[in-house]
Amino acid sequence: MPHYKLYYPDLNARGEPCRMMFALAGVEFEDFRMKVPTSTKDRNDASYLAEPKLEVDGIVMNRNVAILRKFAKEHKAPYLTFPVLEVDGVKIGQTLAIVRYLANEFGFAGPDNLTCAVADALCDQMADYVLANLGWHVVNKGFVDGGDVAELYEQYFVPARGRHLPFFEEALSKSSTGWFANTPDVTHADVFIAASIEWLQKLNPKCDSFFDGFPLLAAHHKKFFAHPKLQKHLAQRPEVDY
Ligand SMILES: N[C@@H](CCC(=O)N[C@@H](CS)C(=O)NCC(=O)O)C(=O)O
């Protein structure tokens, strides 16, 4: 068995689908969590304020991004972003590349290439959905100053939910097993979609109504988080901001 080391901030977000793949497979890995200040209290700390701010593509980002970039250089992240999975010294960047690699390694990629392609497409669609929220997310979580969070919520979060959730509901309506690719047990699509929705829900103050109008997706979420092989991980994972 190779030595697996996952580099990610001490958050769920994009790291959690990777961690869940290990949990579902019952495979050990090194969970390397980098401390990034998320609370207002941490962000008023003198050591945090001493960090320089960072300009990315003409936008002044808060210091968290500068801290992440420092980690990225220090740990030689291939694309200067996280998550990164190191497998016996080889570093893989990009969440979905990691998730797909682990799905193939651990037997969660479906019984054939066609099923795998269906699962892959759903993952990519979910990644598009996550990105569609970015304009709201970066201001909501204080990565970028300025902008009215409530207005941005209406501008980004609301239409993105309306555009993307029907695709996932439709996919589930065609499944006889309740899993996205109609497989007897989870594929990487189930993992990536459920973990991403959990992340979006945590970011969203109105999360109680997140599943309104999408009963199959709500049922999938419940079924996924009740998966017997996930229970130990869920009980032991640290409480994080999102
Ligand atoms: N498409 C990439 C996006 C990765 C990404 O933006 N990760 C964030 C943390 S969730 C990051 O490292 N940001 C630091 C930066 O952009 O400098 C993936 O899915 O891995």
Quickly list DSSP for 60-89: EE-HHHHHHHHHHHHTT-TTS-S-EEEETT
Residue closest via CA to ligand 1's atom 13 equals: 81
Fold (CATH) for 109-227: Glutathione S-transferase Yfyf (Class Pi); Chain A, domain 2 (1.20.1050)
Among all chains, which residue has been given the structure tokens 């998320």?
38
Fold (CATH) for 4-103: Glutaredoxin (3.40.30)
Ligand 1 nearest-atom number relative to CA 77: 12
The alpha carbon of 54 and the centre of ligand 1 are apart by a number of angstroms equal to 15
Residue 162 pLDDT level (bands cut at 50, 70, 90): very high
What single letter denotes the amino acid at residue 230?
A: L
**So what's the pLDDT on residue 206?**
76
**So what's the pLDDT on residue 141?**
85
The alpha carbon of 138 and the centre of ligand 1 are apart by a number of angstroms equal to 12
Ligand 1 nearest-atom number relative to CA 13: 10
Q: Pick from 107, 239, 238, 126: which is nearest to 185 by CA?
A: 107
β-partners of residue 84 are: 7, 93
d(CA 71, CA 82): 9
Ligand 1 pocket list (CB less than 6 A) = 13-14, 65, 68-69, 80-83, 94-95
The alpha carbon of 174 and the centre of ligand 1 are apart by a number of angstroms equal to 33
Ligand 1 nearest-atom number relative to CA 82: 12
The alpha carbon of 82 and the centre of ligand 1 are apart by a number of angstroms equal to 5
Average pLDDT of 200-220? Answer: 91
What single letter denotes the amino acid at residue 173?
A: S
**So what's the pLDDT on residue 84?**
98
Residue 37 pLDDT level (bands cut at 50, 70, 90): confident
Ligand 1 nearest-atom number relative to CA 96: 19
> Which of residues 208 and 9 earns the better pLDDT score?
9
**So what's the pLDDT on residue 31?**
98
Residue 145 pLDDT greater than 90, yes or no: no
**So what's the pLDDT on residue 59?**
76
Average pLDDT of 170-198? Answer: 98
pLDDT in tens, 73-100: 999 999 999 999 999 999 999 999 999 9
Q: In the chain, which residues fall in CATH 1.20.1050.10?
A: 109-227
pLDDT in tens, 164-181: 999 999 999 999 999 999
Mutate to test the pocket of ligand 1, among 82, 125, 241 (most ligand atoms within 8 A of CB): 82
Residue 221 pLDDT greater than 90, yes or no: yes
Residue 43 pLDDT level (bands cut at 50, 70, 90): confident
Looking at the chain, how many residues does it have? 242
Q: In the chain, which residues fall in CATH 3.40.30.10?
A: 4-103
Alpha carbon dihedral 68, 30, 191, 9, in 10-degree steps, equals -20
Highest mean pLDDT among 26-40, 117-131, 134-148: 117-131
**Exposed/middle/buried for 224, CB within 10 Å: 0-12, 13-18, 19+?**
buried
β-partners of residue 9 are: 34
> To the nearest whole number, what is the mean pLDDT of the chain?
93
The alpha carbon of 79 and the centre of ligand 1 are apart by a number of angstroms equal to 8
Residue closest via CA to ligand 1's atom 1 equals: 94
